[in-house]
Amino acid sequence: MKTLLIDYGSGNLHSAAKALEAAGFNSHGHTLLVSSNPLDALDADALVLPGQGHFRQVMEAFMASGFETVVRAHIAANRAFLGICVGMQILYDSSEESDLSGLGLLSGHLKRFPKGLPVPQMQWNKLEQIGLSPLLTGLDANAFAYFVHSYYVPMGLTSNGAVSEYGLPFVSVVSSGNVHATQFHPEKSQLVGLKMLENFRVWAEHHQSTL
């Protein structure tokens, strides 16, 4: 299997690549490639979209990268996809952070944490599983992940994944068909993050075998 970590000028690529390698993405018959060339994504079995920073900045960089068409085709072909942090946020319709639309691959509008809460949320936070998500397989009820964000996906916008709470509950993991995403950084979440990346690899391998 081939997994491509998309380099579009946004996100901590080095840390993400190291975490994916530690999760077995360069072993077990799996090849990991980091590339800024959309042509390299055409034959990828799995795509990983990182992201950090401002919604508009990330969205503009992604749109300028030439990856939009291949990402949409990849997801439409039912191939495995993982979004991380703002790489999750731009999958949605829109965000209060910008008047620029997101990709609309997931339905919903992101909101800013209410006044009075220090932002960004920059801390470890608990994951509470809702529904079913292959990313959460084997995690215990006290799993914590590391978050850095000021905008959130409201409750009710997923039925499978995980929720966390920072003044109010919000979606922290989403699984919708072949699309999976985390609001937090798995590469900064130590054993929990590594386990979730391993889970994505195992799920992607199995999913690919069924296509």
Is 85 considered catalytic here?
A: yes
Q: Cα–Cα distances in Å, from 1 out to 32, 45, 57, 94?
A: 9, 6, 31, 33
Q: Which of 30, 74, 180, 185 is catalytic?
A: 185
Is 149 considered catalytic here?
A: no
Q: Which residue type, as a one-letter code, is found at position 99?
A: D
Nearest alpha-carbon partner for 167 in 151, 186, 179, 178: 151
Q: Which of 30, 85, 97, 149 is catalytic?
A: 85
Q: Which helix (H) or strand (E) is 111 found in, with range?
A: strand 109-112
Q: Which of 30, 187, 198, 207 is catalytic?
A: 187
Is 96 considered catalytic here?
A: no
Which structure tokens are listed for 76? 């439409």
Q: Are 127 and 171 in contact (CB under 8 A)?
A: no
Instruction: Give the span between the Cα atoms of 64 and 78, in whole angstroms.
Output: 24
Instruction: Give the span between the Cα atoms of 88 and 72, in whole angstroms.
Output: 14
Q: Which residues are catalytic?
A: 85, 185, 187
